[in-house]
Structure formats: C-alpha cells, structure tokens
Amino acid sequence: MTAHIAAIGTALPPVVEQKTLWEEHFRPLLQESRAAERIFAAAGVRRRHAVVSPLDFDLSECTTGERMQFYNLFARPLGHEAVVSALSSAGLEPADVGQLTVVSCTGYTAPGLDVQLAASLELAEDAQRLQVGHMGCYAALPALATVADHVRAHRRPAVLLCLELTSLHAQESTMDAGQIVSHALFGDAATALVVRPEPGRLEVVATGAVTDPSTADHMTWTVTDHGFRMTLSPQVPEVLGKHVRDAVERLLGEHGLTVPQVRGWAVHPGGPRILDTVQHELGLRAEALEPSRHVLREHGNCSSATVLMVLDEVLRDTALRPGDPVVAMAFGPGLTLYTTLFRVTGSPA
C-alpha cells in the first residue's frame, strides 16, 4: 500500500513589497530605527502576501474576535482556490476526495474551515474531515503523514490544505527585536496537495520527528486579547543545529540512504539563519537550498503552508529522476523538528 503526491496548488492574496512595508508603515512607527531597518533588510524577504495589509488597515489594536471575523471572511475562498487548483492539476474532481485535512494555526471557528470547504467544494457526504490547529510552522509534515496513512488504508484520494493568515495577527510595533523579526518575516498563503494511492510525482515514504522540550520557551504562539502573539528567540537556529543532522541521518538510515544521496531538499525557511544552519550542519551546497530561499524572498514565512510551497518549487525547478530521494524538513514550537522522506516516482505532467 503506497501514497503518492499527485499535485500541489497554491492560492495567494494580494502582494505587498517589503521595501514599501518598511518605508510607509514600520519605519515611522519604529522611529526610523537603524537597528529595525537592518532586521528588515536581513530577513531575506522581497515581497509577501496579505489578506489585510497594514498599508490599508492597521490591525494591531483589533481584538481577537475582530481578527477572527476577518479570518472567516478570507479563509474559505482562499482555501477553495488552492484545493481546486490542486485537484485540477491531479485530474480529479471534489467528489473523488475521501478525506480533507485542513491545517491552520491562525484562525478558528466552528463549524470549521473544513466544513465550510466541504460545502463550497461539494465533497461527497461521506468524505472524512480532519482539522489540525495551533501546531505552527511544522504542522504540514505530521498532517501529511496522517493523510498518507488514510490513503494507504482506504485506497481513496485525499487532500491536505495548509492555510495561514498571519497578517491577521499583527501586533503593536515596539522595539522588541523578536516582534520586529515577526513583522519582517511572515506572510499569508494557502497550499493544497493531493495524495492518492496511484503513482504520482512523489511517494510518501516515511516521517520522523524530534522535540526538545527544554527549549519550549524559545518559540511560542500565544492567544491574547489582541490576536495571537509570537515570541521568537535568537537562539532557535543554534538549538535546531544540535538536532538537524541526527534527525536527518536517522530518517535516511532507516531506508539505507545517506545525506549525499538526497537529490532535493524542501526546508522550511523560518529565516535566513535557519537555512544557513541547515546548510552548514548537513554540508549542503548553496544551490540545494535555493528553493527555500526563493520562497522566502517571494512569499516570506507563511507558517505551515511554506514547506509545501518549497516542495512545489523543488519539483518544478530541480532535475529529479525516478527513484531519487527528496527530504522535507520543518520547524516550530516545541522546539520541534519534523522530517519527511519522499521518493520520486514520476515526471511532471
């Protein structure tokens, strides 16, 4: 019994240029701070996407309830677009879907986004649904493992949607370095992938995880009266550096593989320093992580959707042959590191 990724589709809200965000919004709020300007310049981001741009409306004083109203307004149409794109690329109809899994840590409602999409997509009434919330940037990979298990067990196609509207959680601009980093990095996106039992582009082979609870306070995502607030320690790359190589070698070793044999790397671009750390610890060439840096430049860090966007970039722009191993890697609160091993099984359509 196997599970294969057949297609990936992404939907994006309007684009916002990083330079414009800095010059017209954040620079005056941060009193033209040179230190803050350096953080924005070093974020590795050229443009991002936002359902609510701070250039149009400043959400920083909105209550969490008001932000959830925006989530309910924007999430369903964006998720619908991403799922339809992925299904169309896979040559499938919504009625073919046996399970829909929705991942999001940026908004909540009940009935949830999964129910809203089941209606708008006109899924079969017996289609199963799963909602995964508040796991953060790494959530796509454990969710994908669950989706793949469903496909193997039920022999029906399934869809994974990662949708994050980080712009809805803009916090008040202060000189706190962690908050400035968050303001410089995060963007909105919805990415869907179709998993089916028949051969596709990639076979989902295995998933691994490492969690270091001793550093749990290094990255947090807390519900407050004014949206969800992130704390981000500058020590995160150092902590991840202690675990990356062991985690990857363990995953590969179980399948008789080594790091140099991997032909594609889809690494979540949590920031330039994290990518530099992964590159150094695994001894990778710079071009190996260009898909990650490209997604960071063009979209920012879109939380759970980002690693799927990078995987799509790897499939489109990396010369891969059937049998080649590909590794995806993502990080988040915990501190948690997830890895997934894929095997190339087909060529682009």
Would you please indicate which residues are annotated as catalytic (active-site) residues?
137
Give the separation between CA 256 and CA 97, rounded to whole angstroms. Answer: 34
The burial class, CB within 10 Å (0-12 / 13-18 / 19+), for 131 is: middle
Respond yes or no on whether the N-terminal peptide bond of residue 335 is cis (omega within 30° of 0): yes
Q: Is 271 exposed, middle or buried (0-12, 13-18, 19+ CB in 10 A)?
A: buried
How far apart are the two ends of the chain, measured CA to CA in Å? 23
Query: Which single residue is written with the structure tokens 């890895």?
Result: 339
**216 membership: H or E segment, kind and range:** none
Alpha-carbon torsion 117, 123, 126, 132, what sign? negative
Distances in Å between the Cα of 142 and the Cα atoms of 132, 183, 191, 298, 338 are 10, 27, 15, 25, 7
- CA nearest to 100, candidates 67, 69, 64, 125: 125
What's the token pair of residue 337? 């590191």
